[in-house]
Amino acid sequence: MHVAQILINALVLGCLYTCIAIGSSLVWGVLNVINLIHGSFIVLGAYLAFGLHYSLHLSPWYAVVVAAPLFFMLGYLLQWLLLNRVTTAPVLVTLTLTFGLDLILNNAIIYYFKADYRKLTLAPPLGSVSILGVVVAASSMPARSHQNLAASSARRRWALSRAARIGSAGPVVGPIGTKRTLLMPMKRSASRK
């Protein structure tokens, strides 16, 4: 029974890592930005949800309602204020920028939250499903990649690839807002917690 539980936990964790990897590859593939701050946003969003739960006694589901839009806007601002200025530069520039921001954010997280482990015990629990003694958390069941959110329609996928390829020539070739279209993957990947 323990082997089955370990395999289910590995599958759920693998799905989470897949969501993170798809978000990173979407941002890199569309925007040509190597976004190393992606993981720090996820950790900071988790700490925000954890802090809201313990300070205001909010359910983690309500904390996600607060954290996701907040990090959506944070990703949007990061892209608009910093990353749009360097997207035409060589990839090493975006790598250095996001790596530096990641170091700053990681050290701020460690300074503020310390390097202690945290445990979230809910009463009543969020829910789980037990099949033949193997427990799967209900919160992991509806997990899906945010690639589907960022490019949910054929028109949006087309606009993203077109805006990434033609860059500043976008307004000349057709009626898509190139800068606004290129902001979508970053803000959606930042809001995925």
The amino acid present at 64, given as its one-letter code, is V
Pick from 119, 118, 115, 135: nearest CA to 127: 135
User: For residues 80 and 85, what is the distance between their CA atoms, to the nearest angstrom?
Assistant: 8
Rg, C-alpha atoms of the chain: 19
CA angle 16, 22, 25 (to 5 degrees): 140
Bridge partners (DSSP) listed for residue 135: 130
* Residue 47, both tokens: 């700490």
pTM over 0.75: no
- Per residue of the chain (193 residues), give pLDDT as tens: 688 888 888 888 888 888 878 877 877 777 777 888 888 888 888 888 888 888 888 877 788 888 889 988 998 898 889 888 887 888 888 889 999 999 999 999 999 988 888 777 766 566 667 777 777 766 555 444 344 444 455 556 556 555 555 554 444 444 455 555 555 555 555 555 4
User: For residues 96 and 91, what is the distance between their CA atoms, to the nearest angstrom?
Assistant: 9
